[in-house]
């Protein structure tokens, strides 16, 4: 059985960080630990970018290098191989957001196909990832989810969205690379869930190649997963889920309040944690039918999954269970799991600096809003710095 203190080893966790990297990370997480500073910084950065002020170099040298692997997928390759040398895999994510025209959606689709092909050529990259609204306008996903009537032009858009999704799934099959679809806001998610379920029915017959994302801050997700599992058993296809807590809590609650409907979000973080662990455990308990990518920065949930795997006799390197964290965060989970030969993996975003700014803003907001996240990161980074400086004081647990 793994040591309960598996995630406390900072020497393993930050083995790839130089002194310069360590100091930069400490600086960034210190800033994120000041909640008011994050929205102010985002506000002024947006203004500077709109005015075309020369600040891209500053973004690149700070938050970009903390949370992104490079500008192109080839830029990321040295880092991918370096992480793999420490038994940590990678998922490349072209993190360009906020596009709205058909040409951009076609371009993004081709970029995703190129990533799938690239991943197939690298043993270090077992998954690819796609964002539904990167393949078509948010408004179309929303209208389909709300069962609203589409006009003729919108019907054409929806048809092209479905074609793009199917092209990606077919590429995943052709190159034998697993493809995960991200989850987004609840008011557009039904259309994505239905379409990805359709893709799983087609492509997940013999093994899991297509995965959907379950955001467990939504209180209805365990029920959804159980019902889908029943349908999958009845219709003879397999399921794949990336299980996460969720990324749109403030937006979801604000919209529900504004429009006067019950919030789809759990009442608090504790309820979200319970829901996440329940969904995660359901997947592991049904491992013969469900492959699961456990996307979490939570040590308790990670250890709970390890315990359940041990109880069920599931090996740490079983290809149906993966533990994923975002690049630049929770290295104490990723690298300590990797050294124990579990399937540890980093989501590695890339893209032109200016284009990935919306993604970087979300990272900053989430780190500052999730209770204890930036504090925990900062404490571990400072502990490793003290260890290297010969000032390490043994932790009292």
3-class SS at 177? coil
Cβ–Cβ < 8 Å for 178, 126: yes
Q: Check: CB of residue 315 under 8 Å from CB of residue 294.
A: no
Q: How far apart are alpha carbons 319 and 93 in whole angstroms?
A: 21
Classify 88 as helix, strand or coil.
strand
Helix axes 299-312, 331-339, angle to 10 degrees: 20
pTM across the whole model: 0.92
Asked if residue 122 is part of any domain, the answer here is yes
Q: Angle of helix 373-388 relative to helix 357-369, nearest 10 degrees?
A: 90
Look up the domain containing 80 and give its range: 71-346
Residue 269 dihedral angles phi and psi, to the nearest 5°: -65, -35
- The C-alpha angle 93, 326, 309, rounded to 5 degrees, equals 110
> For residue 397, is pLDDT > 50?
no
Answer whether residue 162 is part of any domain: yes
Q: Within 10 A of 391 (CB to CB), how many other CB atoms are there?
A: 9
Task: Please report whether residue 337 resides in a domain.
Answer: yes
284 or 390, which is more confident? Answer: 284
Query: What's the CATH number where 240 sits?
Result: 3.20.20.220
The CA radius of gyration of the chain, in Å to the nearest whole number, is: 21
Q: Under 8 Å CB-to-CB from 249, ≥6 apart: which residues?
A: 217, 265, 369
Least Cα distance to 184 among 147, 137, 149 occurs for 137
> Containing H/E element for 241?
strand 239-244
Tokens of 250: 């403030």
Type and span of the H or E element at 215: strand 210-215
Locate 390 and state its tokens. 């010969």
Calculate mean pLDDT across residues 5-19: 93
What is the overall mean pLDDT for the chain? Answer: 92
Strand partners, 60: none
DSSP 183: P
Residue 234: HSE in the Cβ half-sphere, 13 Å Cα cutoff: 6
Q: H/E element holding 261? A: none
Q: What is the largest CA-CA distance in the chain?
A: 69
Give the tens place of pLDDT for each residue, 333-369: 999 999 988 899 999 999 998 888 888 887 777 766 5
Give residue 46's pLDDT: 85
Is residue 52, in this structure, part of any structural domain at all? no
Q: Sorting pLDDT into bands at 50, 70 and 90, what band is 283?
A: very high
Length of the chain: 397
pLDDT at 368: 63
Q: Which two tokens stand for residue 19?
A: 């002194």
Cα angle vertex 274, ends 311, 13, to 5°? 65
Tell me whether residue 356 is in a domain: no
Q: What are phi and psi of 378, to 5 degrees?
A: -65, -40
pLDDT tens by residue, 63-75: 899 999 999 989 9
On whether residue 123 sits in a domain, the answer given is: yes
**Percent of the chain's residues with pLDDT above 90:** 75
Contact between residue 185 and residue 146 where contact means Cβ atoms under 8 Å apart? no
Q: What is the pLDDT of residue 48?
A: 87
Confidence of residue 249 (pLDDT cuts 50, 70, 90): confident
Residue 396: pLDDT band (50, 70, 90) is very low
Of the two residues 285 and 55, the one the predictor is more confident about is 285
d(C-alpha 306, C-alpha 30), whole Å = 31
Give the distance, in angstroms, between the CA of residue 326 and the centroid of all CA atoms in the same chain.
6
* Nearest partner of 287 among 320, 261, 263, judged by Cα: 320
371 neighbors 103 (Cβ within 8 angstroms):
no
**Rounded to whole angstroms, how far apart are CA atoms 145 and 132?**
13
Q: Which residue has the tokens 């029920």?
A: 223
Residue 281 structure tokens: 């455990």
Q: Is residue 283 part of a domain?
A: yes
Which residues, listed in sequence order, are joined to residue 349 by a DSSP beta bridge? 93
**Lowest mean pLDDT across 9-23, 37-51, 124-138:** 37-51
Number of domains in the chain: 1
């Amino acid at each position: 059985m793994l040591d309960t203190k598996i995630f406390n080893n900072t020497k393993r966790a930050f083995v790839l960080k130089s002194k310069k990297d360590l100091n930069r990370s400490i600086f960034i997480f210190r800033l994120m630990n000041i909640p008011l500073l994050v929205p102010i910084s985002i506000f002024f950065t947006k203004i500077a970018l709109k005015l075309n002020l020369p600040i891209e170099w500053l973004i690149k040298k700070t938050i970009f290098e903390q949370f992104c692997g490079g500008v192109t997928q080839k830029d990321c390759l040295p880092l991918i191989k370096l992480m793999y040398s420490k038994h940590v895999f990678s998922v490349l994510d072209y993190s360009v957001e906020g596009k709205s025209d058909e040409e951009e959606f076609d371009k993004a689709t081709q970029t995703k196909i190129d990533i799938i092909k690239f991943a197939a050529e690298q043993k270090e990259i077992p998954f690819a990832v796609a964002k539904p609204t990167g393949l078509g306008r948010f408004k179309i996903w929303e209208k389909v989810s709300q069962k609203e009537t589409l006009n003729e032009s919108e019907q054409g858009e929806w048809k092209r969205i479905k074609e793009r999704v199917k092209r990606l799934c077919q590429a995943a099959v052709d190159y034998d690379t697993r493809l995960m679809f991200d989850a987004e806001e609840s008011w557009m998610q039904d259309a994505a869930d239905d379409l990805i379920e359709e893709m799983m029915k087609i492509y997940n017959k013999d093994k899991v190649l297509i995965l959907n994302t379950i955001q467990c801050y939504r209180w209805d997700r365990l029920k959804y997963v159980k019902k889908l599992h029943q349908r999958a058993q009845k219709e003879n296809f397999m399921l794949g889920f990336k299980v996460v807590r969720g990324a749109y809590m403030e937006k979801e609650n604000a919209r529900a309040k504004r429009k006067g409907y019950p919030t789809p979000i759990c009442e608090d973080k504790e309820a979200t944690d319970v829901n996440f662990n329940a969904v995660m455990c359901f997947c592991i308990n049904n491992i013969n039918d469900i492959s699961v990518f456990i996307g979490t920065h939570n040590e308790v949930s990670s250890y709970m999954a390890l315990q359940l795997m041990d109880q069920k006799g599931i090996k740490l390197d079983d290809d149906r269970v993966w533990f994923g964290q975002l690049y630049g965060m929770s290295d104490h989970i990723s690298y300590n799991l990797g050294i124990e030969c579990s399937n540890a993996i980093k989501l590695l975003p890339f893209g032109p600096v200016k284009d990935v700014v919306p993604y970087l803003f979300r990272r900053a907001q989430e780190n500052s809003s999730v209770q204890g996240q930036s504090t925990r990161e900062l404490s571990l980074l400072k502990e490793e710095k003290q260890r290297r400086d010969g000032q390490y004081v043994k932790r009292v647990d």
